[in-house]
Amino acid sequence: MSQFTTGFSTFTVKRFAGENIRETTSKQGQQLRYTYEEYKVTADWLRANTEHRPLIAIICGSGLGGLAEILKDQKVFSYSDIPNFPQSTVAVQGHAGRLVFGTLNGKSCVCMQGRFHLYEGFPIWQVTFPIRVFQLLGVQTAIVTNAAGGLNEDYNVGDMMLIKDHLNLPGFAGNSPLVGPNDERFGPRFPCMSDAYDRDLRKLAQTVARELGFSDFLKEGVYSVVGGPSFETIAECHMLKRLGADAVGMSTVHEVIIARHCGMRVIGLSLITNKAVMDYDSKSKANHEEVLQTGRKRASQLERMISSFVERLERNNNVC
C-alpha cells in the first residue's frame, strides 16, 4: 500500500480483492468512482471474449448459484479475470464468483454467481459495478434473487416472495449508489423508484407460479435491506416489521436502484431461508448454514420458475 497527499486530497493505492482499486478521499469526503470509460473497458472486454449478447441478467443470491447451471452453451469467466471487476469474499459461503453467459430457452442471458455486499468492505459504487456493465452489453431486464429472513408471520421457511417494493435503510443515511456526480449517459439525476419492481413482470411471474403449482408458497411483499453482516436483533426485526417490511436481507436494493437508473426492467425474488427471531424467549438463532440449506432444498423449483418465466417473456413478446 502506498499513499501520497496533495493540497486537497489524500490518495491511496492498494491491493483489494485481487485487483488494483484506486480510492481517494477529499476534504469534502468525495470518493473516486468508476468512470464511464472504465465501465466501457469491461463491457468491451466481455463482448470481445464471448459471442453472447445478453438481454437478461440474473443475479444469484446466497445458495442460489445453481441458477447459472441451467444456461446452455455456457461461457464462464472468473471475476478475477475480468478487467475492473471486484471479487466476492464470500465465495465459499454461497457465492462462487463467476460470470456465466449462456442461453435460456433460446434467449441470451448473463448470470452472476456471487454478488458484492457492503459488509465485505466494498464501497457501494463497487457493489453495483456489474449492473452498468450489463447495461452497456445490452441487458434490458434484470432478475434479482436473494436469501432473506421472513418478518411476516404468514411466511414459512421455503416460501418465495415476489418483491413488490423495498425499504432502503442504508439509503436513509445517504449511502446510495447514486450519490455523487450523475452521468446522464446512464440515467437521470433523480430516477423514480415508485415503479422499481415492474408490475407486468410481477403479474407474469404469478401466472407462471400458478401454472407450475407454486402458488401456495409464492408470496408478494416488501423487502428491506440492511448493512449486515450480523443478523438483525429482535428489536430491529420489530422495527422493520412496523415499517412495512415482510422480509429482510443484505443485498439487492443497491443493484435495483442502478438497474432502474439505467432504464432496465426489474423483477425480484426472495427465498425465505429463515424466520426472523421476534420473541425474546425464543432459543432460535439465525445462521448462514440454514440459509444455504434452504437454498439447496428450493433451488430446483426456483430454477423451474425462472426458466418458465424467461420462456414466457419470449413467447408473449413481453419486451425484456
Whether 117 is catalytic = yes
Say which of 251, 261, 264, 270 is annotated catalytic.
251
State the Cα–Cα distance between residues 89 and 17, nearest whole angstrom: 7
Catalytic site residue 79? no
Catalytic annotation present for 193 = no
Catalytic residue, chosen from 117, 166, 254, 261, is: 117
User: Would you call 238 a catalytic residue per the annotation?
Assistant: no
Long-range (24+ apart) CB contacts under 8 A made by 308-312 are 308/208, 308/211, 308/212, 309/143, 309/204, 309/205, 309/208, 309/267, 310/56, 310/104, 310/105, 310/107, 310/109, 311/104, 311/105, 312/204, 312/207, 312/208
* 284 in catalytic set: no
Within its chain, how far is the Cα of 211 from the centroid? 27
Q: Which candidate in 43, 250, 264, 305 is catalytic?
A: 250
**Has 166 been annotated as catalytic?**
no
* Active-site residue, selected from the candidate residues 17, 52, 120, 205: 120
Active-site residue among 96, 142, 147, 161?
147
Q: Which entry of 220, 288, 307, 311 is annotated as an active-site residue?
A: 288
Catalytic site residue 317?
no
Judge whether 120 counts as a catalytic residue. yes
250 flagged as catalytic: yes
Which of 52, 95, 166, 254 is the catalytic position? 95
Q: Which stretch of DSSP H or E encloses residue 12?
A: strand 9-16
Q: Which of 119, 193, 299, 307 is catalytic?
A: 119
Which residue out of 62, 152, 168, 308 is catalytically annotated? 62
Residue 205 contacts residue 138 (beta carbons within 8 Å): no
* Known catalytic residue at 39: no
Residue of 88, 152, 274, 308 marked catalytic = 274
What residues act catalytically? 62, 95, 117, 119-120, 147, 250-251, 274, 288
